[in-house]
Structure 1
Amino acid sequence: MSNPRSGFGLIELMVALALGMLVVLGMTQMFSSCREAYLSQQSSAMLQEDARYVLSKLAREIRMAGMLGCLSIDRIVDAPPVFKTPVSWQGGVLRMISPDVALQAAKPDWTVVSDCATYARAYPGAKMTLAPGEMAFPLRELFYRFEHGQLKIGPNKTVLLDNVAAFDVSFGIADLAGSHSGLRYEYRLAKGSSLRSIRIGLTLRDRTGRVKDQAYLLEVALRNLLA
């Protein structure tokens, strides 16, 4: 009487190999899906971080736009003509005159020196020496340009942010001078004294294409009424 042989036959081996391949394929697909989801979340988070940085910077500068010291512009001696239009949006360029709140270590474009009671004078650049009772207000002319998918700042067009799909600016206009009621948004600023807020629309694009374009909206009220 012969002993039965132990082991696997060809059919059992083929079934085991097929099942093993299915398990490995499933695990590979699951890993690939998890990795793609992680990369998509990371791309979305990077876009949000970029938008948060740019919009927070813009918010600080918009709030203080047109703040030329403690006296009105008509009382500033030697005020440059651009002081009369401290905010403008034309040809894809947002221009503002704002206190030097973000670049304190850099040289300002102008300094307004005033005693906040009887006189004020504008000086080009920085004014280092002050008389007793005087205050200095460093000012900077800010430029934001949207060109070729990039947001650029300054007269030298330094790239602030890449992969920008859209950058729009509109102005919150009050119906009556000195009033905040009846606010409506327009793309053209006809009269500075009616400006109450600025709305920024920013759309960022993921260069890897993993996530859809992300749109962000910022509305900031001006603290200073313009002339």
Structure 2
Amino acid sequence: MRYRVRGFSLVELLLALVIGLVLLLGASQVLISSRVTHASQQAAMLLQDDARFVLSKMIQDIRQAGMFGCLAPAFIENAPLAFDRPITWSAGGGSTSLTLLTAQVGEEGGRPDWTVLSDCTSTAHAYIGNAPAPEPGQIRFAIRQLTYTFETGQLKVATPNAPAKAVLVDNVRAFDISFGVAARLDSTGVVRYETRPADEALIRSVRLRMTLQDPAGRVKDQTYSVVAALRNRLG
């Protein structure tokens, strides 16, 4: 008794190959899309980390700008002229800079540019660099001058003790600074933001807007904006 052996026809084989190829292409597309999405998410996270690091540092320094101790600069003996202008800026020639005279938080900032010794009641004295050891009843305030500069796609920082600009972050496409100003000297409320305020004494806050780009083009440009208030001018 003979049994007839029957295999796949050519049409069936071609159909199976086409279906398998379609499934393989679909799986490959899903895998490639997943890898691209993961790479773009990683790039966005790196940009966000860079922005968080830089902006948090600048916010802290802006908040402490003009904080020279318990007494106003007019009552500090030997106070440098720079104490009268704790926040200045400049723009032009392809760069933008913001200079702050700010209280140094902790001891991690290195040697201060000035130190104020005060009893917080009637006397205060400013010293260049470090000051003598505080006497009983005196408080020591370390002051630093920081200049943040945006140029050639980088945000940098420099101090009088370290004039060589240290790069804080690369791949900066844009960096804009505007200042919240009050209507009067005795007012703490911000009525508008200006890029070039006529009276520095009216500045109550600083708005920073920074755009970072991924050099590999894995994610769109990311823009971050923050506002920091000058605490010593808000009462």
TM-score calculated relative to the size of structure 1: 0.93
Instruction: State the Cα deviation string for residues 197-219 of structure 1 (Å, max 9, x = none).
Output: 11111111111212211111111
Aligned position for 1:165 = 173
How many Å separate the matches in 2 of 1:161 and 1:102? 23
Contact persistence 1:112–1:136 (CA under 8 A): yes
Instruction: State the Cα deviation string for residues 128-161 of structure 1 (Å, max 9, x = none).
Output: 4121211110011011110111100113110100
Q: How many positions carry a matched residue from both structures?
A: 226
How many Å separate the matches in 1 of 2:206 and 2:214? 26
Aligned position for 2:48 = 48
Cα 1:189–1:104, aligned 2, differ >3 Å: closer, same or farther?
A: farther
Aligned position for 1:30 = 30
How many Å separate the matches in 2 of 1:144 and 1:102? 20
1:139 to 119, 125, 143: 143
Aligned position for 1:208 = 216
Aligned position for 2:164 = 156
Aligned position for 1:174 = 182
Give me the identity figure in percent: 46
Contact persistence 1:111–1:125 (CA under 8 A): yes
4+ runs deviating over 6 angstroms: none
Contact persistence 1:113–1:134 (CA under 8 A): yes
Per-residue deviation at 1:5? 2.1
Unpaired runs of 5+ residues, structure 1, are none
TM-score calculated relative to the size of structure 2: 0.90
Per-residue deviation at 1:99? 0.6
Moved more, 43-52 or 106-115: 43-52
How many Å separate the matches in 2 of 1:182 and 1:161? 30
Moved more, 89-98 or 179-188: 179-188
